[in-house]
Amino acid sequence: MLLNYDQTLNYLFEKLPMFQNVGKNALTKDLTNTIKLLEYIGNPHLHTKWIHIGGTNGKGSTSSMVAAALTANGYKTGLYTSPHLVDFRERIRIDGEMISEQFVVDFTNKIAPAIDEFSPSFFEITVAMAFEYFKEFKVDIGVIEVGLGGRLDSTNVITPIISAITSIGLDHTDILGNTIEEIALEKAGIIKEKNNYLIGDMPTNASVVIRNFGDSINANFIQNKPTPTLWESSASLKGSYQKSNINLAYNILLTVNRLNVPLNDKSNLEGISNVNKFTGLRGRWEVINNQPLIICDTGHNYDGVQFIVEQLKTYKCKKMHIVWGMVKDKDATSILELLPTDATYYVCKPSVIRGQDSAVMTTLLANKGLIAFDCETASDAFKMATSNCKSNELIFIGGSTFVVADFLNSI
């Protein structure tokens, strides 16, 4: 019997395999454990309206914008995202409010026999926890972000009113496939027969694969309409890379409005103008300070880092200081080629088992002729960057979701 929240978290983190720590060894090969776990608690996912959002990049931002708009329209809205940055409870929210500590404790105690029987993963348990929480508190609609891939992701047990795929890029190739086409097919697995689906900006070969899959199961493809100018100017999530996410969120909401969930433009705009307020989302081109300018962003794969570097180029600062770290299973060779050559780097190891040692990353950067200091932790790196940064300069923190998480936990 787990008695308190801290004890419960320790149990979940230490007993169960977590992808963020051990990578693909935490994944199961099918949905069997998720289905068994949900059956054990009475299948709480079967009687709710869902919106299911996957993709290589942008799925967290898009999910949060959609959820914020639904909340602003007065709907009791569940939002499931992963991973968390500061607090485990960020993963499961209703109208921006995190799941209670007591619910986490009670739910974990409730499913303890199932954990002992078939050893579900950390992610499988958090998905089941979210569905149970949303059922108990009677959400009107839930927005579910896919964890990894789509076809075999634990969230893919729902039948949503809409599925959406934000983007396709080369990431998690050891799990999802080595080509854009293979990855697109895995992510297309969230599309359901005769159901509605939308896609964001992506390579043509990826969209062709997804459209062909949709046609094969008689799903209803919905063509995106252009984003109104007011939406782009009002959106609280900044960064030029958000334009595609804003467009997809806009079109998801247009479709929702036609599916017995009436929405109004004023409330939609209120939602996307206050995404952080309505959902608690953090780490998406988040400005921490203005003088000096301090920004963090969770972009961590080739496409995500490419967007970040392009955005950094728009800032006319005298010098850039970059706090940087990566996990071992990312393609460091190609990603490091994208980085600005005139910046100073402060290198840290993300505090997960998969984290690349700071000394190794420092050497990789130095071998490219970049100025890089080995600082071990994100806190150490940020302190050193701050000590070297003048008021008219810029500090960026990124390279890994977990570097951003470590940084946010340290300030």
Query: What pLDDT is attached to residue 22?
Result: 44
Q: Is 260 in the same domain as 321?
A: no
Residue 168 pLDDT: 93
Please list the alpha-helical segments (H only) found in 167-321.
173-176, 180-188, 204-216, 229-234, 242-257, 265-273, 275-279, 302-312
Neighbours of 183 (CB within 10 A): 24
CATH number, position 221: 3.40.1190.10
pLDDT at 269 (0 to 100) = 97
Q: Locate 260 and state its tokens.
A: 């017995």
Q: Which of 279, 294, 315 is the last residue of a domain?
A: 279
Dihedral angle over CA of 361, 363, 367, 372, nearest 10: 80
CB 51 within 8 A of CB 164: yes
Q: Tens digits of per-residue pLDDT, 272-283?
A: 999 999 999 999
Angle between helical axes of 122-136 and 5-15 (0-180°, round to 10): 140
Say yes or no: 56 and 190 in one domain. Answer: yes
Which are the contacts of 282, defined by CB distance < 8 A and separation ≥ 6? 85, 86, 90, 276, 408
Whether residues 191 and 242 fall in one domain? yes
Task: Determine the Cα–Cα distance for residues 91 and 99; give it in Å rounded to an integer.
Answer: 8
Q: Which of 11-20, 249-258, 342-351 has the lowest mean pLDDT?
A: 11-20
Residue-level pLDDT at 316: 85
Q: What is the pLDDT of residues 89-115, one digit of tens each?
A: 999 999 999 999 999 999 999 999 999
Q: What is the mean pLDDT of residues 343-348?
A: 98
pLDDT tens per residue, range 297-317: 999 889 899 999 999 999 988
| Between 160 and 300, the higher pLDDT residue | 160
pTM: 0.93
* Cα–Cα nearest to 375, from 334, 410, 401, 341: 410
- The pLDDT of residue 171 is 64
Q: Which of 255, 279, 303 corresponds to the end of one domain?
A: 279
Q: What digits encode the pLDDT tens for the residues 242-274?
A: 999 999 999 999 999 999 899 999 999 999 999
| Structural tokens at position 281 | 């989302």
Closest residue by Cα to residue 199 from 182, 184, 180: 184
Tokens representing 337 are 């080629």
Whether residues 81 and 105 share a domain: the answer is yes
pLDDT at 23 over 60: no
Same domain? For 141 and 103 the reply is: yes
Strands 344-348 and 162-165: unpaired
pLDDT (0 to 100) of residue 329: 86
Last-in-domain residue among 279, 298, 319: 279
Q: Do 64 and 129 have their domain in common?
A: yes
In a shared domain, residues 122 and 205:
yes
Provide φ and ψ at 233, rounded to 5°. -75, -25
Q: Are residues 171 and 290 in the same domain?
A: no
The DSSP annotation for 124-172 comes to HHHHHHHHHHHHHTT-SEEEEE-SSSSTT-TTTT---SEEEE----S-S
Examine the pLDDT at 348 and tell me if it is beyond 80: yes
Centre a 10 Å sphere on the Cβ of residue 9 and count the other Cβ atoms it contains.
18
Which domain covers residue 122, as residue numbers?
5-279
User: Cβ neighbours of residue 278 under 8 Å, at least 6 residues apart?
Assistant: 67, 68, 71, 72, 95, 96, 271
| Whether residue 210 is found in the same domain as residue 340 | no
Contact 188, 215 (CB under 8 A): no
DSSP structural state of residue 38: H
Tell me the mean pLDDT in the region 182-197: 96
Q: By mean pLDDT, which of 16-25, 93-102, 283-292 is the weakest?
A: 16-25
Q: Are residues 264 and 336 in the same domain?
A: no
**363 CB-near residues (< 8 Å, 6+ apart):** none
| 197 alpha-carbon distance from chain centroid | 19
Q: What is the CATH number of the domain that holds 340?
A: 3.90.190.20
Instruction: Write out pLDDT tens, residues 40-82.
Output: 999 999 989 999 999 999 999 999 999 999 999 999 999 999 9
**Together in a domain, 97 and 138:** yes
* 174 — pLDDT class (breaks 50, 70, 90): low
Indicate if 115 and 234 belong to the same structural domain.
Answer: yes
pLDDT band at 182, cuts 50/70/90? very high
pLDDT averaged over every residue in the chain = 93
Quote the distance between the C-alpha of residue 42 and its chain's center. Answer: 28
| Number of independent structural domains in the chain | 2
